[in-house]
Amino acid sequence: MPAPGSTARTRGRRIPENSVTETAALHQVLDAGLVAHLAVVDEAGQPYVLPVAYARRGEQVLFHGSTGSRLFRGLAAGQPTCLTVTLLDGLVLARSAFESSMNYRSAMVLGVATQLHGDDELDALACITEHLLPGRWLECRHPSAKERAATLTLALDLNECSVKIRTGAPDDDPADLLDPVFSQIWAGEVPLQSMFADPIADENTPTEINVPEYITKWRRP
């Protein structure tokens, strides 16, 4: 598989020092995220960006939508797309507004999606469920024939990708570090953490049923 950032369309030009070319980094970003954003252009040329649940399976990104969606039907028919995942890890406060930034991990995937069918589609749905809800596929009811008929499942190969990661402290303008006023401003990082709160049972769950152990183990990377 080509390394991230190895094509003309994915080579980092803006702040190239944040570009990462290791495939392992691409996998780590995709595996840590829960929501991707998918670019779609309709038949009239109107662009849309759709939030989608997804999962990585090997060297593919899997996602699904409704068979009634004209936008997803366009993707299944071979429309080129761009899928992105961004993880915000913190805010970076510099001594100037211009140099203030964010610490983040992001991945971009370009290509043409392929519609999945049969057992391959069912495996993809299991992968998406397990990525979002680890342990749930073994316990919950699997999709019925009617539900699968209403679902369009797609795979996007990781053949053309890019990864950018920013970490660390602000990169201040050297003049601000010497300025008698601005040099006295607090600067640094404010980390941002995402976590699961305590599960809340719905009104139809019998009171004697405890939260499954696999749910209590969920952690955000």
Q: What is the CA radius of gyration of the chain?
A: 21
- The pLDDT tens digits for 181-209 are 999 999 999 999 999 999 999 999 999 99
Q: pLDDT band at 18, cuts 50/70/90?
A: confident
Q: Quote the tokens at residue 88.
A: 């915000």
Map out the domains of the chain as residue ranges. Answer: 16-216
pTM of the model: 0.93
- Name the nearest CA neighbour of 103 among 38, 166, 163: 166
Residue 2 clears pLDDT 90, i.e. is over it = no
Residue 62 contacts residue 53 (beta carbons within 8 Å): no
* Residues whose CB falls within 8 Å of the CB of residue 25, separated by 6 or more in sequence, listed in order: 4, 163, 165
pLDDT at position 32 is 97
CATH of domain 16-216: 2.30.110.10
β pairing state of 160-166 and 19-20: antiparallel
Sorting pLDDT into bands at 50, 70 and 90, what band is 27?
very high
Within its chain, how far is the Cα of 172 from the centroid?
30
So what's the pLDDT on residue 162?
Answer: 95
Look over the chain and give the mean of its residue pLDDT values, rounded to a whole number: 95
> Who wins on pLDDT, 34 or 12?
34
pLDDT in tens, 134-183: 999 999 999 999 999 999 999 999 999 999 999 999 999 999 999 999 99
Distance CA 90, CA 39 (A): 26
